[in-house]
Amino acid sequence: MHHWIVASASLLALSGCYSTSIHGDAGADPRPDGTDVSVDTSVEPASDPVDAHEVPADILPDGTETCPPAGDGVWLTWSLDGLEYDEGREIDIPCTVTSVAGEDVGHTIIDMTCGTGGRMERHVIEIFSNPHPWIEHITGTEVMLNYVSTPWEWQDRWFSLRYYGGEIIIAGTTASALAPPGRTVDEWYYPLSVQFVTGLCPQVDLECGLSERAALDVEFWDDRKLVFDSTSTILGGVAAASVTVDTAWFYETMECMDFPYTYMNALFVLLLEG
């Protein structure tokens, strides 16, 4: 846990601008010798090189500042069935949302009855976040619950609720890759387009290696924005999506055996039309 505290505290102090790379199905995972390799969604590094692209100037936060100061007042934690850590499991099950409630703004409890036929089970997603995910309207909606966790030295977890047509209603990613093993990024975030972006902020030498703040490049309909760590945004128009990024970091070099090269904690919400 010591490594996590050092990294999180140091990344908040970074600002500046550097060359930019965008990574699709997962974040980049350069090795200590400087060679870039892609990372598949199962976290293990692959051998194919990552294609790097410049971020279009029109989606940068400012024409001259590619690495804005870290925001304040954005946070996110979530759990499925009261577990923020488990030994690794995968759930794909149809559900009906029985209620969406919370004790106050920023605390959301999604209660669901799941299964088919005579085999039914209850699942509960609990979210503490700012900004608040406005999804109270999905009470009574039939959805697909998708959840994946991996038993690595660090915990990778993903969840999504989606309509039967495949569109996400809400999705949470607290992991070292954008999508779970065996799932593509395009599939997991549909109808959003999401990429992990590095090279926007200066590097600092932390206990585990050279690290930098990162961002998510998110596109929805004709709207596209960079969402840095500790910030949130809304994309779209009549149909809109909310994106909250609590954490996003990238290590160019890694000296710790129990620590990922990339990590992000983010929430994606498809907002009610109209």
Domain residue ranges in the chain: 2-62+73-270
Neighbours of 65 (CB within 10 A): 13
User: Please, are residues 82 and 29 in contact by the beta-carbon 8 Å criterion?
Assistant: no
Q: How far apart are CA 195 and CA 50, in angstroms?
A: 12
pLDDT by position in tens, the chain (length 274): 333 323 333 333 333 333 344 444 443 333 223 333 233 333 333 222 223 334 555 555 544 357 888 877 899 999 999 887 777 889 999 999 999 997 677 899 999 999 988 889 999 999 999 998 989 899 999 999 999 998 777 889 999 999 999 999 999 999 999 999 999 999 999 999 999 999 999 998 988 999 999 999 999 988 999 999 999 999 998 889 999 999 999 999 999 888 889 999 999 999 876 4
- How many CB atoms lie under 10 A from the CB of residue 75? 14
